[in-house]
Amino acid sequence: MGQGMSEAVPGVYVTSALVARQGKILDEFGITHVISIQAKPISPFKHREYLLIQAKDHISQDLLQFTAQCNDFIHNARLNQGKVLIHCVEGKSRSPSIACIYLMTITGISWSDVINSLRGVRTLVDPNFAFQRQLKHFYDQHMVNERERLFSKFGLFNMIDKDISFVMKNLALYNEEQRRRLTGDFSDVDKIYLLTKNNSTALPLDNIAKTEKVQEANSDLNQFFPNLDLRPMTPESQNLLDEMFSS
């Protein structure tokens, strides 16, 4: 878990450029649409639809400028029974951020919960601090308007409740992992409470899933971003962000 194809919501995956180059894997997952986010995007496969976003993993990069373009691409694909792959180089910063923007727009769930839900299925997720600030800014200032724009353009979306449940399930996985790291309790877990929009349901984990979680808990802790406290910004970085949001 956390290195290959990571499912953010049904039919939307986050991964690395290495996986995105593997046509056989994309075929196995039924990927029809790809968002490639790199300074130099990869060469596309001809039988898939691509959106090429030239963006760097850098504090000066404004990802929010691609919001409508990426949201439309993802949403249109899903409405037409397509499956979307979002990748950058590692699947760590840029692609999870773009996925987070879409998930916030669809579900209305906060940026921090969405990022942690992605960490629930992809432990290496760690947007750079400037992207985290952009995600917070989007949720606070633009999410409602973007949500209205998207639904006005494409109509009502009947998978909202399912997407909310999926995000909350992955968030519960993350929270359980954090609890186990803090307590040192790596014993087998019979049940994990998966929150949904209206209630909570206890779902049993099968033996394979439980084994994977025990193995994941013993992986390198340095890969995991334990909380969302933002690292201090230098004056230069703050100036870049002020300029980014001043227009």
Span 14-41, pLDDT tens digits: 999 999 999 999 999 999 999 999 887 7
**pLDDT given at position 206:** 40
Q: pTM for this structure? A: 0.75
For residue 245, give the amino acid letter.
Answer: F
- Domain boundaries defined on the chain: 6-159
CA 31 to chain centre: 17
**pLDDT given at position 187:** 58
Tokens of 98: 């773009």
**CA–CA separation, 112 and 97 (whole Å):** 11
**pLDDT given at position 8:** 98
**Spans in the chain with pLDDT lower than 50:** 188-234, 236-238, 240-247
**pLDDT given at position 42:** 77
Q: Which residues contact 112 (CB under 8 A, 6 or more apart)?
A: 136, 228
**pLDDT given at position 186:** 62
**pLDDT given at position 100:** 98
Is the CB of residue 64 less than 8 Å from the CB of residue 142?
yes
Tokens of 5: 């194809």
Please indicate whether residue 88 is annotated as part of the active site: yes
CATH of domain 6-159: 3.90.190.10
Catalytic residue among 8, 31, 70, 88: 88
